[in-house]
């Protein structure tokens, strides 16, 4: 584990900016990014939901549209 602290310059050396959420990028950065935190969460939620349904053909407890 590596801590980057308040200065994100060290983070940019270790993690490509295209993999970071917009909220972690410099204001003047215009290149590719992973989207906003909400967009990333939405994509991950959809991915887990689809995986769960495909893994056995039905919605499991704790998944989207499944009851906990």
Examine residue 15 and state whether it is found in any structural domain, yes or no: yes
48 lies in a domain? yes
For residue 63, is it within any domain? no
**Inside any domain, residue 23:** yes
Q: 41 in a domain, yes or no?
A: yes
Sites in the chain below the pLDDT cut of 50? 66-68
Does residue 46 form part of some domain?
yes
Torsion of CA 54, 62, 46, 50, to 10 degrees: 0
Cα separation, 52 vs 50, in Å, equals 5
pLDDT tens readout for residues 13-29: 999 999 999 999 999 99
Range of the domain at 13: 9-56
In angstroms, the CA 35 to CA 20 distance is: 8
* Residue 65 resides in a domain: no
pLDDT at 52: 67
How many domains, the chain? 1
Quote the CA–CA distance of 32 and 22 in Å, as a whole number.
9
């Amino acid at each position: 584990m590596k801590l980057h602290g308040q200065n994100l310059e060290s983070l940019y050396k270790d993690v490509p900016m295209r993999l970071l959420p917009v909220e972690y990028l410099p204001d003047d950065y215009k290149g590719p990014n992973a989207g906003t935190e909400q967009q990333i969460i939405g994509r991950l939620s959809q991915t887990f939901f689809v995986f769960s349904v495909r893994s056995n053909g039905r919605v499991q407890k704790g998944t989207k549209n499944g009851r906990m």
